[in-house]
A and B are shown apart, each in its own frame.
Chain A
Amino acid sequence: MTISRMLLGAASLALIAGMAHAESGTADKRIALSNNYAGNSWRQAMLQTYEEIGKKAVADGVVAAADAYTTSENQATEQAAQIQNMILQGYDAIVLNAASPTALNGAVKEACDAGITVVSFDGIVTEPCAWRIAVDFAAMGKEEVDYLATRLPDGGNLLEIRGLAGVFVDDEISKGIHQGVAEHDKFKIVGSVHGDWAQDVAQKAVAGILPSLPEVVGVVTQGGDGYGAAQAFKAAGRPTPLIVLGNRQDEMKWWAEQRDANGYETLSLSIAPGVASLAFWVAQQVLAGEEVPKDLTVPFLKITQDTLDESLANTPEGSVANVTYSLDDAKKVIADAK
């Protein structure tokens, strides 16, 4: 009696385990996040999103582990070593925000050869065996100018605030902006500075170039620099131009204040840090045996005059507007790419 009950128990346990396995197929898989940098609010929001979704996925039994690792010095060599450690630790998949599009290719190839799924996002890698979740940064830059063209039909002088010199993303967004200006030839870029995606650096650079500039009607930015630009215009006693923003909470708050005071209207766009959660689900889908195209595109998060209040309410003080992607979102992105 006791023995048969035990057998029954064991059998039903096996059955349950088998069912769970059939449902996700990844319950025993371990996914690691390799991140190259944590020193700004965007990366912090990214890590938090990954942590939340990872914890939930582990609790739900979708995966066995979803750990996050960040290198301290933002160096490709350091991250390559980190990836090699992950190979030794036996992870099944690595979700990767890379310090360099090419310098990690060797380590990524080693991981692939060891049978590990590598999904790169935001900072993508060019190694063919890895998956890439990229943002069409050039389109983002172009959209800024397209928007300005609808708001300022007479055109005028633009100030461009770029990101960190020498970084792929900076070149791409700037390329899109210049493409947009070539199309809307009523606009002219009269000045270009590097704001390093940081408000204080942007503020400093804009304050330095403003005295030599004629009247500026619009500012095209890359995110994390709009508020600093606004401060610099204010300090110089110039009228506030149309500044395209980058989804930071302080930018949105400033926008809402200006809107309430004088009807200020603009557009805000950037990639949501939650793209890490999308990468996580893509990795899970690859591990589950789904066929996933190697190149995926994630839409950028756009905030307009109509959605400003909602986004502002949903964004923690001092953080950046975010969306957390679900498994269904990932499936949709995969289906769109097929």
Chain B
Amino acid sequence: MNPLSKPWIWSWLAAAGAFALTLGLTSGRGAGELGYAALSFGAFAAIVGLGQMLVITLGPGNVDLSIPATMTLAATLALKTMGTVEGTAFVGLAVALGVGLAAGFANYMLILLLRLPPIIATLAASLIYQSLAIWSNRGLRIKPPRELADFATGQVMGIPNVAWAGLLLAAVVWVVLERSVWGRWLLATGQNTHAARLAGIPVEMIRAATYLSVAVFASLAGYLLASFSGGAALNMGTEYLLMSIAVVVIGGSSIAGGNSNVPGVWGAALFMFLVVSMLNSYGAGAGVRSVLTGTIIIAIVIAASTRRVRA
């Protein structure tokens, strides 16, 4: 079997290419440093990307645009609750995940009860979440408790702790998608909702669970990011809106739904960090950087999708 027929291979090849090109500049110096940084920062993109992947798998029109606001709200409330007091890390985590559950539930209710298209529902909801975050703390940056900050920036066996969290989550998502009935249901729903419903799959339950999952993943990413970077900021989630969608597409999942790809999300998350690092290292200006990033992304998506058609 040709390994190039796997759609996820392209994001990993691209990540490896960007990695090698950056190191070409330093003749190999700093490989460990760069890899470590890529794993740390890639973890946040991977976590939100996994969530977005599940939603996109649900089929055309399904996307969660409230990820940045959910991240910000979860992180803000969690850090406010902890208030830099030692020993409150798990309380904070519970608050963050609770916010995620609530946001996911609210999103789904808007979609179900008001019959709003998910794009509109989650976008509108995100304005509310962002306003709540502003209102709850007026943009003040509260530091995480020291032990939590140490954990978020720490490492085990040379791999950053946040990357362990992202890898563990990826493994769980992979098992659920590939080895559980729930995963099969999700894929079937994404491929043809109508057929899935006729086949007796509880489509609405699947959708509810998916919208809850993405919001919980986003809140986890927000909690970790705020702990990692020394506090929650109102604009902390901004770049994860496009990022979450980009890693799904680059990772080889079908944007039309019904086909998800867990390893590709991680490859794409590493790539998104490494490509910016590479262009920065080569001294590319902001304009050139945007154009090249866009071009490379399009190239990867074309490569991944062409192979899939042939296979």
Q: Considering the complex, give the chain B residue whose CB is closest to the CB of A208.
A: B277
Chain B positions within 8 Å of A193 at CB level: 280
Q: Which one, A38, A192, A227, A318, contacts B142 given CB within 8 A?
A: A318
Chain B positions within 8 Å of A249 at CB level: 141
How far apart are A317's CB and chain B's nearest CB, in angstroms? 6
Chain A positions within 8 Å of B234 at CB level: 38-41, 44
Q: Are A318 and B280 in contact (CB under 8 A)?
A: no
Chain B positions within 8 Å of A212 at CB level: 22-23, 25-26, 30, 34, 277, 281
Q: Considering the complex, give the chain A residue whose CB is closest to the CB of B284.
A: A192
The answer to whether residues A211 and B229 also contact, given A72-B127, A249-B141, A319-B140 and a CB cut-off of 8 A, is no
**Is A64 close to B, CB under 8 A?**
no
Chain B positions within 8 Å of A192 at CB level: 280, 283
**Is B308 close to A, CB under 8 A?**
no
How far apart are A10's CB and chain B's nearest CB, in angstroms? 46
**Cα-based distance from A317 to B281 in the complex (angstroms):** 35
Q: Are B41 and A191 in contact (CB under 8 A)?
A: no
Count: A-B pairs, CB below 8 Å: 134
**Is B37 close to A, CB under 8 A?**
yes
**Is A231 close to B, CB under 8 A?**
yes
Q: Are B230 and A41 in contact (CB under 8 A)?
A: no
How far apart are A134's CB and chain B's nearest CB, in angstroms? 23
1/0 per residue, CB under 8 A from B, across A200-213: the answer is 11011101111111
Please give the number of chain B residues whose Cβ is less than 8 angstroms from any Cβ of chain A in the complex.
Answer: 46
Q: Considering the complex, give the chain B residue whose CB is closest to the CB of A198.
A: B235
Q: Are A166 and B286 in contact (CB under 8 A)?
A: yes
1/0 per residue, CB under 8 A from B, across A39-80: the answer is 111011100100000000000000000000000100000000
The answer to whether residues A209 and B280 also contact, given A40-B234, A231-B229 and a CB cut-off of 8 A, is yes
**Cα-based distance from A32 to B170 in the complex (angstroms):** 50
The answer to whether residues A41 and B283 also contact, given A204-B41, A207-B40 and a CB cut-off of 8 A, is no
**Is A228 close to B, CB under 8 A?**
yes
Q: Which one, B36, B230, B283, contacts A231 given CB within 8 A?
A: B230
Binding site for A on B (CB under 8 A): 22-23, 25-26, 29-31, 33-34, 36-38, 40-41, 127, 130, 134, 137-143, 153, 225, 228-231, 233-236, 238-239, 273-274, 276-277, 280-281, 283, 286-287, 290
The 8 nearest A-B residue pairs measured at CB: A211-B30, A208-B277, A44-B139, A318-B141, A165-B286, A318-B140, A212-B281, A200-B229
